Structure 1
Amino acid sequence: MIIECFGGGIVRLGEPLDFRRFKLVLHADAAPGTEAWPGITLLDDRDALVSIDLVPTLAGRPDDAGWDQRYAEMVDKAREHGWIDAERHAIRAHVERMS
């Protein structure tokens, strides 16, 4: 699953059925220093926190109740591995930049 961030605060979900990967992709027109994406906090150049509640609201999410269940299972697995920030109710994501 890929959280794709673009300029103008546009965020969408890519590869929504891939529950084994979770990353944040900043496209070339994205300006990360502006805090342009509500629910997303860049921690540094390599890591970000993405609100657990944000992901199901993004464009690109399948309209399927089965998706909700699989997403909840992914969050549970992330929690087991220490990738959930309980205080911020967010999932840690690796950051990649596209040029």
Structure 2
Amino acid sequence: MQIILSGTGDAPELADADNFKDFRVVAQGAPDAAALAAATTEIGRSDGAEHVFVTVPALSRMAGARAEDATWRADLEGMLDVAQKHGWVDAQGAVRAHVEWRP
């Protein structure tokens, strides 16, 4: 599951929505904490230039109709359980994603 940030101001998009073992944000350009913060306000919050805490409602919204599927929801809950065990979920329930910067 990848959240794609276009770098053009478009809304973040969810790609590979059924892959719960590869959760990350893909951003365009050189690492830039301020740009990342601006680009992620509607899905959660950035933590510097290397991580984004993504809210579960934002994931569901980006998944569209997939979020209504019981199997998809169960797989999401499984991913969140693993993230919780590793300390990758904040006090508000948002899950941490690593940011991959691409030129």
Task: Identify the TM-score tier after normalising by the shorter chain.
Answer: 0.7 to 0.9
Separation of aligned partners in 2, 1:69 and 1:48? 22
Q: Is the 8 A contact 1:9 1:36 kept in 2?
A: no
Which residue in the other structure is 1:13 paired with? 14
In structure 1, runs of 5+ residues without a counterpart are none
Q: Is the 8 A contact 2:37 2:45 kept in 1?
A: no
Deviations 1:35-91 (A, max 9, x none): 5531321111211111122101105663522101111111111111111002x3211
Which residue in the other structure is 1:74 paired with? 79
Residue correspondence of structure 1 range 20-59 to structure 2 within 5 A:
20-28=21-29, 31-35=35-39, 37-59=41-63
User: What's the secondary structure of 1:84's corresponding residue?
Assistant: coil
Say what the alpha-carbon RMSD is for the aligned residues. 2.1
More helix by share: 2
Give me the TM-score of the superposition, normalised by structure 1.
0.80
Which residue in the other structure is 2:93 paired with? 89
In structure 2, runs of 5+ residues without a counterpart are 30-34
Between 1:16-25 and 1:35-44, the stretch displaced more is 35-44
- The count of residues paired between Structure 1 and Structure 2 equals 96
Q: 4+ residue stretches of structure 1 with deviation over 3 A?
A: none
Separation of aligned partners in 2, 1:94 and 1:34? 17
